Structure 1
Amino acid sequence: MTFRFARYALALLLLAIATAIVLVALDPYRLVRAEFARQRLAAGLARGTITVAGHRWVYAYSDDAPRDAPVVVMLHGFTGSKENWYPLAERLRGRYRLLLPDLPGWGESERKPGEDYGFPAQATRVDAFVRALSPKGTSFGASPGRPVVLLGHSMGGGIAALVAARHPDDIARVGLFDAAGVRFRDNRFGREVLAGANPFAVRDAASLQRYLDTVFFDEAAKPLIPWPASSALIARRRHDAAFEQSVLDRIGRSEERFLPGIEAARIRQPALLLWCRQDAVIDPSALELYAARIPQAARVMLDDCGHMSIMERPDAVAAAVTALIEKPASGNPK
């Protein structure tokens, strides 16, 4: 009986392996999605969906926090996704309510042909998302609703700046990390963007490695993407090339490219500006440009990390975010 059971168990195992091979062959990107799901669960996050601002959003979240805890919303950057925030979310979970959306057009969220996914359009959508999922109330300690802390990385930082500037009743505090939206000191990335290229374009294994080498400085933090997941990721990025180019044309070369920096002067809420000194994408000179427009902002410059501060230095970023949230507000942000 034991021998027959062992044969039966082995047959089931072989069937499961064969099924997995077939499923991956039909959809190689399934491996990437499976890894993202593993990371989400490891960070203690759940998965949610909502339709708002004309798009279906997919987001990760955690409600494992005190009833009156602030809501922390995290916006990813160009070619990024909600998964970029998981290391930080893991460190903040339990203290704050967390919302990590894939911005419309990116990740698992809906993308519509011909839609505008530049800074102003996304800022309008993000405010609608915040209103839909976060109770009203911007003042810390306010009885009706919980305050919203909006964090943005890279392109998401430019979007966050516009949301905070344009909707001060909805956003209590704002953090801009390696944020786009100002005319920073020239670097290779900026020159390529102005020349019409997409420095983040991924077409093959070599360009995938170039992409990772550009956004990460710390080798230990750089993700390992083994085959066949790497092939699936390359295929997805090649498929998205035209979309990426259309977004970069708006946020990197059109009249709206410096709009976040211009409107940042209207931000009155407590704020945080955080950069990595070795950022090869958004040069660290951008921090001072934003600081000139948001003088009340705390400034944090981290060493030995690149553009992906939220993944390369999550402990330091978590400490800075906690300081932003816990610091008493000096007056009405409006």
Structure 2
Amino acid sequence: MSRRRSARPAWWLRAGAAGLAVAGLGVAVARPEYVLEAEFARQRWLAGASETTFQVAGHRWAAVQAGPADAPLVLLVHGFTGSKENWLPMTRELARGHRVLAVDLPGWGDSERLAGGDYGPSAQAARLAEFIAALPQSPQLVVGHSMGGQIVGLMAARNPGIAPRLVLMSAAGVRFDENAFASAVLAGENPFQVTNRAELKRYLGIVFAEPPFVPWPASAALVSRRRADAEFEQRVLDGIGRGPEAFALEEELGAITAPSLLLWCRDDRVIDASAADVFAAGLRDSRTVLLNGCGHMPMMAQPRQVADTLAGFLR
């Protein structure tokens, strides 16, 4: 009798675990987005970050924040097809001594997108200037990655003194030694297009020197998001990569007064590292840091090294 009683809890535990597994699989199949959101929640927890929103420049902005409230504020701006979540691995390191705020630009991620809205670089630069002006704490450092670097640069050129220091990370907006990515953009293509899992794998191979493995069903959720944004991405890419505003920043670099850090990976297959030389030639006050062993996403590939570099530049 005693053996039967001791066996019953184990049976129920096994049955319960199996039931949870089946239920979890059902959720994953029906709503893969839930799995992706759970992963983002896990990353926020690891970074000690929380979600927040702002209503500025006619849009609702979604953001994540972390770090001591009285520490110097670092504002992070993502790139083309990116999001605030791109910064979470680095936020885990940087937020130990800084207040970190990573935003989804209007039109992207969880921020508001208005039908017929202009989400080109100049319009976004103007919105970002309004956003910074509305913050209760002025950022001591504004970091822009890729398209975000182009937007941050235009904002700084047109609003002198808006930020004490800038970081332009793998930034767009200037000419560079043409690579396969640039050739495709100039030909009217979107090399970042993702409408299926094969294109997701190709995309990751472009932006990472060592592409991460994205398991199902998170991969299905990412593909679904990117497929829904395909038309929007194409319109934005027309503006940042090949329209009349594509190289406006290059012409305005001399108007940027803030000391600027140019941060690149040597193996960037999107914005070739030769772009850093163009920025350095046009800026009044800049320094360049080139990292080894990473591609277009240094803040994800080498979060600790990038966080240390930003903290050192801010000091």
Pairwise same-fold verdict (TM > 0.5)? yes
Cα distance in 2, alignment partners of residues 112 and 252 from structure 1: 22
Q: Deviations over 1:23-51 (max 9, x none)?
A: 43442222111111111111111111122
Say which SS state the counterpart of residue 141 (structure 2) adopts: strand
Specify the alignment match of 1:245 in structure 2: 234
Cα deviation code 1:158-211 (max 9, x no counterpart): 011112222233211100010000011111000100100000001222211111
Q: Which residue of 2 aligns with 1:233?
A: 222
SS in 1 for 2:119: coil
Which residue number in structure 2 is paired with residue 151 of structure 1?
143
Verify: 1:50 aligned to 2:42, yes or no: no
1:175 equivalent to 2:162? Answer no
Q: How many residues in Structure 1 have an aligned counterpart in Structure 2?
A: 311
* Kept in 1: contact 2:36–2:218 (CA 8 A): yes
Q: Does 1:320 align with 2:309?
A: yes
Does 1:200 pair with 2:192?
yes
AA of the residue aligned to 2:116: G
Query: Which of 35, 40, 43 is residue 39 of structure 2 equivalent to?
Result: 35
Q: Which runs of 5+ in 1 are unaligned?
A: 137-146, 327-334
Deviation at 1:2, TM superposition (A): 8.2
Q: Which portions of structure 1, spanning 4 or more consecutive aligned residues, are displaced by more than 4 angstroms?
A: 1-19
| Cα distance in structure 2, aligned partners of 1:193 and 1:290 | 21
The residue type equivalent to 2:314 in the other structure is I
User: Which residue identity does 1:59 align to in structure 2?
Assistant: A
2:121 is aligned to 119
Q: CA deviation at 1:155?
A: 0.4
- 2: CA distance, partners of 1:4 / 1:108: 47
Cα deviation, residue 259, structure 1 = 1.5
Counterpart selection for 2:179 from 173, 177, 187: 187
- The letter for the 2-side match of 1:78 is F
Instruction: Name the SS for the 1:300 alignment partner.
Output: strand
RMSD: 2.0
Corresponding residue number in structure 2 for 1:144: none
Gaps of 5+ in 2: none
1:301-324 superposed Cα distances (whole Å, 9 cap, x missing partner): 112211111112223222221222
Offset, 1:287: 0.1
Q: 1 CA distance for matches of 2:52 and 2:12? A: 38
Give me the whole-angstrom Cα distance separating, in 1, the residues matched to 2:163 and 2:219.
38
The alpha-carbon distance between structure 1 residues 162 and 2, as it changes in their structure 2 partners (threshold 3 A), is farther
- Once residues 6 and 312 of structure 1 are traced to their aligned partners in structure 2, the CA distance between those partners, rounded to angstroms, is 43
1:19 and 1:47 map into 2 onto residues whose CA distance is 28
Post-superposition CA distance 1:55-75 (Å, at most 9, x none): 11111101425x2x3210001
On the 8 A contact 1:148/1:170 being kept in 2, the answer is no
Alignment match of 2:66 (pick from 42, 62, 66): 62
Distance between the aligned counterparts of 2:21 and 2:293, measured in 1?
42
Aligned to 2:52, what secondary structure does the other structure show? strand
Q: Secondary structure at the match of 1:29?
A: helix
Instruction: Provide the TM-score with structure 2 as the length reference.
Output: 0.91
Change (3 A) 1:198 1:30: same
1:167 and 1:307 map into 2 onto residues whose CA distance is 27
Q: CA deviation at 1:8?
A: 7.2
Residue number in structure 1 paired with 2:213:
224
Paired with 2:175 and 2:9, the residues of 1 have a C-alpha distance of: 68
SS at match of 2:127: helix
Q: CA deviation at 1:94?
A: 2.3
Out of 24, 41, 58, the residue aligned to residue 28 of structure 2 is: 24
Instruction: Indicate whether 1:257 and 2:275 are aligned.
Output: no
1:111 Cα offset (Å): 1.5
Q: Secondary structure at the match of 1:30?
A: helix
User: 1:160 corresponds to which residue?
Assistant: 152
Task: Confirm or deny: 8 A CA contact 1:215 1:307 kept in the other structure.
Answer: yes
Q: Report what 2:80 is aligned to.
A: 78
User: How much has 1:17 moved relative to structure 2?
Assistant: 4.7
1:93 counterpart residue number: 95
1:105 aligns with 2:107: yes
Higher mean alpha-carbon deviation, 301-310 vs 176-185, is at 301-310
